[in-house]
Structure 1
């Protein structure tokens, strides 16, 4: 699932372009308001409100940056390789290694996302965190 919160028609257009441009498209896009996202539905990407139902959640609430067309594919491959519960940017530019904390989570197991636990507490609760960088601007 991709979580997004486009604020205007320009961000809606940007979200649609970024999602449809992914080599590995998400199963769903979760937004506060689905207006203007009919193109995603037509392309087979479910648009919904409420909590995500897909097993993995990618936070795209910041739509100002560019995302490479391989972002979701890269993240899912890194998750398969690592078996981690969350992946993202870590302090010090760590890459492809387990870390005690993520500075910016990019992909999170749905159950962890829905738990409401703050990211700084994830490792202490036994969750495996894997650092990736270079997948999008940090």
Structure 2
């Protein structure tokens, strides 16, 4: 199977409900998703299809959903390196915290308030995760 067909198959498995469409619209790639549906129906395997798949993956990854069409990815440190990347996320503020983590979107000049816990109404706190 070619790479585009594999990526479309992964996308197809994710598209069972309206959640994918809603997120694609919210993340600004709704038109790319529409074109991918048309390409799948037509059996198209052009560079434009690859570009739309890449755009979809990039948009979803920026919002914490990695590997939408390419599958899971892993981090491998450089040989001899001791550095570990650190990701900052919003986490549960409770002393005995739950496992909820939300990506922090970094937008220049934006002071977006943190999301809040739906149970307590308390704002989530920044947490650093060492990969």
Task: Settle same-fold status: TM greater than 0.5.
Answer: no
| Higher-Rg member (1/2) | 2
In terms of fraction of residues, the more helix-rich structure is 2
TM-score w.r.t. the length of structure 2 is: 0.28
- The one of the two structures with greater contact order (alpha-carbon pairs below 8 A, sep at least 6) is 1
TM-score, L = length of structure 1: 0.28
* Larger strand percent: 1
